[in-house]
Amino acid sequence: MKFPKIALFVALTFAATTALAQPRAEYPRPQFERSEWVNLNGEWNFELDLSNSGYSRKLYKSKALEGKIIVPFAPESSLSGIGHVDFISSVWYQRTVQVPSEWAGKRVKLNFGAVYYKSEVYIDGRFVGRHYGGSDSFSFDVTDFVADGQPHSLVVHAESDVRGGKQPAGKQSSRYESYGCSYTRTTGIWQTVWMEAVDACGLERVQVVPDIDQNTLTIIPAYYGVKGGNRFRVSLTDGKKVVAKADVVASQGMPVVLNLKKVKLWSPESPFLYGLVYEVVGADGSVVDRVDSYAGMRKVHIDGTRIFLNNKPYYQRLVLDQGFYPDGIWTAPSDEALRRDIELSKLAGFNGARLHQKVFEERFHYWADKLGYLLWGEMASWGMSAALPETGRNFLSEWGNVVVRDRNHPSIIAWTPFNEEWKVPNNEAGRLYNDAYQLTKQLDPTRPVNTISGGIYVISDFCTAHSYQQDGEKLHKQIFNGEKFYQPQGPTQDKYPHVINQLIYRGDVPYVLDEFGGIKCAETQPKDGKSWGYGDAAPTREDFYARLESLVKAITDHSDKVCGFCYTQLTDVEQEQNGVYYFNRDSKFDMERLRAIFQMKAEGYEQ
């Protein structure tokens, strides 16, 4: 855990450099980028409101607060300059904003990458809007609250109750201290805040659907508004060359189909991305909105017991990535840090990651798209009481927003709403599992859904299991004993015959061991012995390599039945000391040796 005296030093150091470098200054939404925008990251006024008295004290009308914070870093983090690691029920932010006079006549959008958990926004003491959800992005139209070129007081209030069981919390600790696989909490603003100018008939979002079998790319637009005479213009580029284009009437939800003569596919081995330009054109021929984007042409589908990428069975060699940072917690200290995590993973021999119990920011998906890295998108589902109806309401709205935000990224090849849920599916919990699966398929029918990773097997497109068996021979027998596949102990069909959904995997869909390993190595452990992990530690690095090789071989020997794995984990996280890298991303092991092990041949697969 981090403590205020450490944060104070960081705050003083950071304050000295703030004027020179704005934190996280890059555009936060690279797949939907506009040129007219203002980054609001940096120093804000700030106040912890541990007694929840802020409303009584009318802090929403504030023009200043008692402290300072560096946005977008959460107050628990050292990079924020606060470093308060006890439970935080309520926080207030304030800063002055000014809309550029050049934006006159445009709608002004105030955008938030993410704020944990319940947030409210005020401008000059007037209520703008409220949002529920700590992982999804959201936006408010503040045009009617601001005057061009005039200063205004922006106040953001955030509340969180990770112990209440009604909000998705992921790996945030429910105790004061971090313990086991639960870590330092994140409260309030933890992703970029920005303003942008948008025409009243500009694009709100698009859905992009690649079809490599018919050589088409379909664009489904949603506009803030439509106006007679407006047209929608799309250009697809390969470098500087336009390879497909369309010019159609701007109509809500009407698909635009681009036909490609020759398709360049996206894959980890060749992550080619087409450039995309969207333009809304007025009746007079002027461009009223322009968005720069990109797309990857690739296909993911299931055939029998295998998962296919671009119509070929593809063996997934994934790593568990929890996306925690020593100084930023849920927030990466820099854009380069996001890219570096992917490069480190590829260096160790992985071709992708299961993003675990955290919704990663869009910049991470961008780098995965650019570098060729497979992702399973996962919700921060832990911390909820799934049997409570209010919990289900909170979960589904947030998860739906996440899927819509991220469904255009070619790197994301599967969705995982839940992790290790064990509640019998004949009550509100079962209703939530089914609703989450159906909602995901409705919002994105192009990707398979792993409804519950490693928990009970209910409605799902493929099956996953978790095993931290540390002996290779035992794991080999455990995965498939000649009669049935390994599943963690849970409810059975015999015990619950009234449950319609099957609870036991019967070998009819793909099977992935999506958590295994977690090997600790005594030679790399801190000398104080204060660490947590799975099983007994391997005494030396050589013992670690031998154990790891035996486990990976046990899985790849079953490649006729098991179509991939996910190793725990990429980095140490606080007290959990079983990463292939240290928490600060330094190397623990010989990466060439790890790479050879993780890329062990799986029969029946090309890569």
pLDDT higher at 493 or 524:
524
Whole-number Cα distances in Å, 492 to 432, 485, 486, 573: 19, 14, 13, 34
3-state SS, residue 253: coil
The residue type of 399 is W
Q: Taking the CB of residue 107, how many other CB atoms lie within 10 A of it?
A: 18
Please determine, looking at this structure, whether the domain spanning 4-197 carries the CATH number 2.60.120.260: yes
Residues 6+ positions from 263 with CB-CB distance below 8 Å: 212, 215, 297
pLDDT > 70: what percent of the chain?
Answer: 92
The residue type of 431 is R
pLDDT in tens, 53-90: 999 999 999 999 999 999 999 999 999 999 999 999 99
Measured CA angle at 511 (ends 508, 517), to 5 deg: 160
Q: Taking the CB of residue 391, how many other CB atoms lie within 10 A of it?
A: 21
Report the pLDDT value the prediction gives residue 8, as an integer from 0 to 100.
38
Alpha-carbon distance 177 to 244, whole Å? 55
With both helix axes pointing from N to C terminus, report the angle between 335-347 and 362-371 in degrees, rounded to the nearest 10: 40
Report the pLDDT value the prediction gives residue 10, as an integer from 0 to 100.
40
Give Cα 398 to chain centroid, integer Å: 12
**494 pLDDT tier (thresholds 50, 70, 90):** low
Alpha-carbon distance 230 to 244, whole Å? 21
Alpha-carbon distance 587 to 352, whole Å? 19
Which letter, b or e, does each residue of 287-322 get, where b requires 16 or more Cβ atoms within 10 Å of its Cβ? ebbbbebbbbbbbbeeeebbbbbbeebbbbbbbbbb
Is the pTM here over 0.85, yes or no? yes
3-state SS, residue 131: strand
Question: In the predicted model, is pLDDT for residue 383 greater than 50?
Answer: yes
Mean pLDDT across the chain:
92
Alpha-carbon distance 579 to 347, whole Å? 14
Fold of 305-519+546-598: TIM Barrel (3.20.20)
DSSP state of 508: S
* Contact between 8 and 386 (Cβ < 8 Å): no
Structure tokens at 191: 């992703």
* Contact between 353 and 376 (Cβ < 8 Å): yes
Report the pLDDT value the prediction gives residue 17, as an integer from 0 to 100.
40
Alpha-carbon distance 408 to 75, whole Å? 32
Helix (H) or strand (E) holding 153: strand 151-159
List the chain domain ranges.
4-197, 203-295, 305-519+546-598
Report the pLDDT value the prediction gives residue 486, as an integer from 0 to 100.
62
Whole-number Cα distances in Å, 278 to 131, 234, 256, 406, 588: 28, 5, 11, 18, 45
Question: Which ranges in 348-421 belong to alpha helices (H)?
Answer: 362-371, 389-406
Residue 485, burial from CB neighbour count under 10 angstroms (0-12, 13-18, 19+): buried
- Torsion sign (Cα): 302, 304, 309, 310: negative
Measured CA angle at 207 (ends 135, 311), to 5 deg: 100
Say how many residues make up the chain: 607
**484 pLDDT tier (thresholds 50, 70, 90):** low
DSSP state of 264: P
Please determine, looking at this structure, whether the domain spanning 203-295 carries the CATH number 2.60.120.620: no
pLDDT in tens, 313-332: 999 999 999 999 999 999 99
pLDDT > 90: what percent of the chain?
Answer: 84
CATH topology of 4-197 equal to that of 203-295?
no
Alpha-carbon distance 226 to 250, whole Å? 7
Alpha-carbon distance 301 to 311, whole Å? 8
Structure tokens at 466: 């978790």
DSSP 64-100: --SEEEEETS-TTSTTTT----S---EEEEEEEEE--
Whole-number Cα distances in Å, 354 to 434, 541, 566, 568: 22, 25, 7, 10
Report the pLDDT value the prediction gives residue 481, as an integer from 0 to 100.
67
DSSP state of 262: S
Bridge partners of 33, per DSSP, are 292
Report the pLDDT value the prediction gives residue 20, as an integer from 0 to 100.
56
Structure tokens at 168: 């998705």
Alpha carbons within 13 angstroms on the beta-carbon side of residue 500 total 5
**386 pLDDT tier (thresholds 50, 70, 90):** confident
Report the pLDDT value the prediction gives residue 12, as an integer from 0 to 100.
40
DSSP state of 532: B
Bridge partners of 312, per DSSP, are 309
Report the pLDDT value the prediction gives residue 9, as an integer from 0 to 100.
37
The residue type of 482 is G
Whole-number Cα distances in Å, 173 to 8, 90, 163, 333, 458: 23, 17, 9, 21, 28
Question: Which ranges in 500-571 belong to alpha helices (H)?
Answer: 541-556
Whose CA is closest to 344, among 127, 150, 574, 591? 591
Cis peptide, bond prior to residue 268, ω within 30 of zero: no
3-state SS, residue 313: strand
Report the pLDDT value the prediction gives residue 3, as an integer from 0 to 100.
34
Report the pLDDT value the prediction gives residue 385, as an integer from 0 to 100.
87
